[in-house]
Amino acid sequence: MTAATKIRASAKDGVTEVRVLMQHDMENGRRKDEAGNLIPAWFITGIKAQHNGRVVLEGQFGTSVSKNPYLIFRFKGGATGDKITLSWLDNRGETRSDEVAIS
Amino acid sequence: MERRKALKTGGGLGLLGVFAILGLTPGSVWANAGRAAFEAKTLDEAFGALGVLAPENSALIKLTAPDVAANGAVVPVTVESMFSGTEQIAILVEKNPTMLVASFVIPDGTEGYISTKIKMAQTSPVIALVKANGKFYRASQEVQVTAGGC
């Protein structure tokens, strides 16, 4: 089970700023649990952001992005009510997509 | 030995991740290029895998990171590129076990601006790599890490 990505998008002076907080452990595969067993790597490998279906940002992550990845980016255009979608994919093949309207 | 094993495990899962990406959205940007750069253990390897040849330092890249990070698990980093034709922004930490932290493709209409939070194992230069008009540029800043968090 994965938790919803928190997204806030606001348009001002012709530019939309998107703030994203993904919910993910981002385990790097080098840490051990209390019993000394290696915790398997588990992390987001790719993200994609869309504005009304148009891709406005794509990214690849390694294991050094902090737990619960945080991201701010900006694109030209965007108006109140437009849809912003943020999708991610992790190394287990799990995906998640969340949507918000620009405020 | 254990560390070796751990790295191998991580690498294997990374590869699975690549396949998963390829299967999910064939032809899209987040699928291409593979993930070799994320396995790189040296800066040269990372640059090589990213297709970068000796990036020039540029004052047109503004890299904002703390001089001292008390918690290496959460280090805020912002990269702002003043190049008009910014195509890609990548963040690397020279002394992390794997250097490449993240790489972003900036389509037309998206500003050359990325702000995120990264993990740092120890005190190290943080490098912002920017591709603009087909050419790579870099900016770097040393971040002193009090408690490593990789």
CATH at residue A44? 2.60.40.10
Residues of chain B with pLDDT under 50: 1, 5-29, 32
Give the ranges where chain B is alpha helix by DSSP (H). 2-24, 36-39, 43-50
The closest CB to that of A30, out of B6, B101, B114, belongs to B6
Give residue A15's pLDDT band: very low, low, confident or very high (50, 70, 90). Answer: very high
**B108: CATH:** 2.60.40.2470
Is B37 within the bounds of a domain?
A: no
Q: Rounded to whole angstroms, what are the CA distances from B67 to B53, B70, B77, B143?
A: 28, 10, 11, 5
Among candidates A34, A39, A95, which has minimal Cα distance to A63? A39
Shortest distance between the Cα of A73 and any Cα of chain B, in A, equals: 5
User: In which residue are the tokens 């090589």 written?
Assistant: B48
Q: Which token pair is B90? A: 């990548």
Cβ pairs bridging A and B (under 8 Å)? 155
* B126 and B70 assigned to the same domain: yes
Name the phi and psi angles at B29, rounded to 5: -65, -35
pLDDT of residue A51: 97
Between positions 12 and 71 of A, the ones with CB within 8 A of B are 15, 26, 28-30, 38, 40-42, 45-48, 55-67, 69-71
Is A36 within the bounds of a domain?
A: yes
* B22 and B53 assigned to the same domain: no
Domain range enclosing A91 = 6-101
As a whole number, the mean pLDDT across chain A is 95
* B12 and B75 assigned to the same domain: no
pLDDT of residue B10: 40
Task: Report how far residue B39's alpha carbon sits from residue A63's, in angstroms, rounded to the nearest whole number.
Answer: 10
Q: Helix, strand or coil for residue A26?
A: coil
Domain range enclosing B12 = 1-32
Is pTM beyond 0.80? Reply is yes
Q: Which residue type occupies A94?
A: E
Is A44 within the bounds of a domain?
A: yes
Q: Are B120 and B144 in contact (CB under 8 A)?
A: no
Is A27 within the bounds of a domain?
A: yes
